[in-house]
Amino acid sequence: MNPQDLLNNPQLMQNISPEKLKLLMELANSNSPNTSSPQAMAESLKHASEHAKSQGMDFSSAERDLIIEVLKQGMPPQEQKKVELLMQMMKNMRN
């Protein structure tokens, strides 16, 4: 996760609580800067989710979708498509 992606996105600033945004910033700062692949992004999001739960927080589906959209912005189109496919597969598994 790139911390600048989080800080520079008004949608995140307006739609996610300050506590959750702080947690995301901490995780973004602690992760390696090379999270541009779908696999690395999925691992980062999994770690963020586990850490949030340990802190008594839970991200809604809308919040997760918004975070993923922000993170995809820095990816090449081909990688964005992989992320979209991965997310669609995960949604289908939940249904």
DSSP code per residue over 13-78: HHHS-HHHHHHHHHHHHHS-S---SHHHHHHHHHHHHHHHHHTT----HHHHHHHHHHHHTTS-HH
Higher pLDDT, 80 or 31: 80
Interval 56-75: pLDDT, tens: 888 888 888 887 777 777 67
- Please state the pTM of the whole predicted model: 0.65
pLDDT confidence of residue 73: 72
% residues pLDDT > 70 (the chain): 77
What is the number of other CB atoms lying within 10 angstroms of the CB of residue 13? Answer: 12
Structural domain of residue 78, as residue ranges? 3-94
Q: How confident is the model at residue 3 (pLDDT cuts 50, 70, 90)?
A: low
- 75 vs 54 pLDDT, higher one: 54
- Enter the DSSP assignment of 89: H
Count of domains forming the chain: 1
Number of Cβ within a 10 Å radius of residue 70: 18
